[in-house]
């Protein structure tokens, strides 16, 4: 049964729910010690135990035996004027202010990437990610970064690491369109 990596799947479910072994034990009447041994692949759980755990995590028992879906190796993005679609078949959509999702990664991935086309007389208010860490790379043009205390300008080839992107605005300077890649921690 180890070839199905059931213990690893159960551990991922537990961690995704921000649960401790103790919380799962209390909800399933399976001991913490047994749960730990299952998660580490040291013990093959009984069918009765698997049913309890599947019920607790609100999944079918069959999910524990499924092969993991293969992750795509890459996503192709066409230049402006073309539709961009990932391997999932979803077309990337434009967001407010000329910002479009460049890469929308799965939730367990650790970053998101956006391509922003900032147009003249447009200002975008940055919304920080959960971790508040954001990196901007200026692909083309020049932009002004504005926060409560100061203003600074950056241009093609410059990068900016923002520790807290909340409350910061971006606008193009002296160019019709400034293209910026935004990478943020998920």
Contact 159, 135 (CB under 8 A): yes
Blockwise average pLDDT, block size 10, the chain, 186 residues: 79 90 95 94 92 93 79 46 44 47 48 79 60 78 80 84 71 87 76
* CATH of span 94-185: 2.60.120.10
CATH H-level, domain 2-65: superfamily: lambda repressor-like DNA-binding domains (1.10.260.40)
Residue 158's pLDDT is what?
A: 85
Residue 167's pLDDT is what?
A: 67
Domain boundaries, the chain: 2-65, 94-185
Residue 165's pLDDT is what?
A: 60
Supply the pTM of this predicted model.
0.45
The 3-state DSSP class for residue 140 equals: strand
The count of residues in the chain is 186
Residue 110's pLDDT is what?
A: 62
Residue 17's pLDDT is what?
A: 86
Contact 184, 135 (CB under 8 A): yes
Cβ-based neighbours of 36, under 8 Å, separated by 6 or more: 21
């Amino acid at each position: 049964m180890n070839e199905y990596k059931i213990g690893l799947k159960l551990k991922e479910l537990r961690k995704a729910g921000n649960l401790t072994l103790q919380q799962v034990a209390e909800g399933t009447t399976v001991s913490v010690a047994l749960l730990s041994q299952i998660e580490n692949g040291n013990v093959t759980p009984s069918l009765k135990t698997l049913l309890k755990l599947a019920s607790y995590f609100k999944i079918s028992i069959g999910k524990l035996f499924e092969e993991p879906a293969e992750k795509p190796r890459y996503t192709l993005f066409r230049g402006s004027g073309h539709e961009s679609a990932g391997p999932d078949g979803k077309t990337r959509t434009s967001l407010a202010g000329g910002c479009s999702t460049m890469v929308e990664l799965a939730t367990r991935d650790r970053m998101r990437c956006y391509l922003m086309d900032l147009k003249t007389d447009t200002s975008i208010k940055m919304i920080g990610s959960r971790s508040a860490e954001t990196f901007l790379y200026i692909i083309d043009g020049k932009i002004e970064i504005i926060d409560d205390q100061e203003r600074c300008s950056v241009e093609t080839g410059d990068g900016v690491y923002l520790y807290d992107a909340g409350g910061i605005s971006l606008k193009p300077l002296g160019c019709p369109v400034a293209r910026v890649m935004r990478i943020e921690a998920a």
